[in-house]
């Protein structure tokens, strides 16, 4: 179904509207992440199958979202279902809270697939992954600050919630962007101490990195901004060279793109990267 306007949407999605109203009573804004909201109300899904989603009003949709890429194989893929069920039956539980040999099996697989990865640390979310990578960079270099690219998202915490989607009238010059906080309630510290870089502009990025090299622990970026604007190869190679020279850790955040472009597509970038050792 294509919902062309709000009145058609309202007509076809009464139950969604009702459930959303109910959700608003106990969940702030009625959604578990603001990205899931759209007016007049988000759609409440009932089930998924393959490439399709079905809402509580019985409407069928093609699911282009696929849980922001996490469900790249579609809903209820038989092999995934079978593997999860088999593992749970064999293990006799859903979670151990202790080490398990499969952690190593999967880490070995990741190391094998990504030439830039030597070791793996698992986290529950992208936010935790970038937070730990940045902390590691600060610990490793002994320098305090982070540089990130304008327009790049790395999670919803203060240190990186800067210049993700800034108002153009506050964002400054495109070649020397200003740090703009994305939310009220953020301490000034992070806005003052986060260096913002222009993506795919090697000359300007180099100038800024050289000016701040003495205080920069790391540069973090999405190698494919937002999942759809790729870094140019020359830009990535330059960034690797400059950060190595200046003892700045280069961090690739692939929450959206890891294994979703293809299993080996990002190898050319990852081969440039060493997350822990600049």
Ligand X SMILES: Cc1ncc(COP(=O)(O)O)c(C=O)c1O
Looking up tokens 């952690």, which residue turns up?
Answer: 103
> What are the E-state strand segments in 113-171?
145-149
Closest approach, Cβ 206 to ligand X, in A, equals 23
If the CB atoms of residues 57 and 253 are measured against ligand X, the closer one turns out to be 253
If the CB atoms of residues 145 and 154 are measured against ligand X, the closer one turns out to be 154
Interface with ligand X, residue 130, by CB under 6 A: yes
Long-range Cβ contact pairs of 207-213 (< 8 A, separation 24 or more): 207/176, 208/147, 208/176, 209/147, 209/242, 209/243, 209/246, 209/248, 210/242, 210/246, 212/145, 212/147, 213/246, 213/247, 213/248
Question: Which of 256, 260, 269, 272 forms a contact with ligand X (CB under 6 A)?
Answer: 256
Question: Which of 31, 107, 127, 176 forms a contact with ligand X (CB under 6 A)?
Answer: 127
Interface with ligand X, residue 172, by CB under 6 A: no
If the CB atoms of residues 55 and 253 are measured against ligand X, the closer one turns out to be 253
Judged by CB under 6 A, the chain residues 215 through 254 that form the site for ligand X are 222, 253
Residues binding ligand X: number (CB under 6 A)? 11
Closest approach, Cβ 87 to ligand X, in A, equals 23
Contact pattern from residue 51 through residue 80 relative to ligand X, giving x for each residue in contact according to CB under 6 A and a dash for the rest: ------------------------------
214-to-68, 144, 202, 218, 247 alpha-carbon distances in Å: 37, 9, 19, 11, 9
d(CA 135, CA 139) in angstroms, rounded, equals 6
Closest approach, Cβ 110 to ligand X, in A, equals 17
Interface with ligand X, residue 125, by CB under 6 A: yes
Contact pattern from residue 134 through residue 163 relative to ligand X, giving x for each residue in contact according to CB under 6 A and a dash for the rest: -------------------xxx--------
How many alpha carbons lie under 13 Å from residue 139 in its C-beta half-sphere? Answer: 8
If the CB atoms of residues 85 and 183 are measured against ligand X, the closer one turns out to be 183
Looking up tokens 């020397």, which residue turns up?
Answer: 176
Say if strands 52-55 and 60-62 run parallel, antiparallel, or are unpaired.
Answer: antiparallel
Residues near ligand X (CB under 6 A): 125-127, 130, 153-155, 222, 253, 255-256
């Amino acid at each position: 179904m294509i919902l062309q306007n709000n009145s058609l949407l309202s007509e076809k999605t009464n139950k969604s509207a009702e459930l959303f109203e109910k959700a608003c009573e106990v969940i702030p804004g009625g959604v578990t992440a603001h990205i899931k909201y759209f007016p007049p109300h988000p759609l409440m899904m009932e089930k998924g199958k393959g490439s399709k989603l079905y809402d509580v009003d019985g409407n069928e949709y093609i699911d282009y979202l696929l849980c922001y890429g996490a469900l790249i194989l579609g809903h209820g893929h038989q092999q995934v279902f079978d593997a999860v069920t088999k593992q749970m039956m064999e293990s006799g539980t859903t979670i151990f809270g202790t080490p398990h040999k499969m952690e190593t099996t999967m880490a070995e697989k990741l190391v094998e697939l990504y030439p830039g990865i030597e070791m793996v640390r698992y986290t529950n979310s992208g936010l935790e992954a970038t937070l730990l990578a940045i902390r590691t960079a600060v610990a490793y270099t002994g320098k305090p600050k982070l540089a990130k690219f304008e327009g790049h998202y790395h999670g919803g915490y203060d240190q990186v919630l800067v210049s993700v989607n800034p108002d153009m009238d506050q964002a400054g010059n495109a070649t020397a962007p200003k740090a703009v906080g994305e939310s009220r309630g953020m301490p000034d510290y992070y806005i003052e101490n986060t260096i913002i870089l222009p993506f795919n502009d090697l000359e300007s990025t180099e100038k800024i990195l050289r000016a701040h090299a003495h205080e920069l622990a790391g540069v973090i970026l999405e190698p494919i901004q937002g999942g759809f604007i790729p870094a140019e190869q020359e830009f990535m190679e330059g960034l690797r060279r400059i950060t190595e020279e200046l003892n700045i850790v280069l961090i690739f955040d692939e929450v959206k793109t890891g294994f979703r472009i293809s299993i080996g597509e990002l190898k050319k970038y990852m081969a440039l990267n060493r997350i822990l050792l600049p």
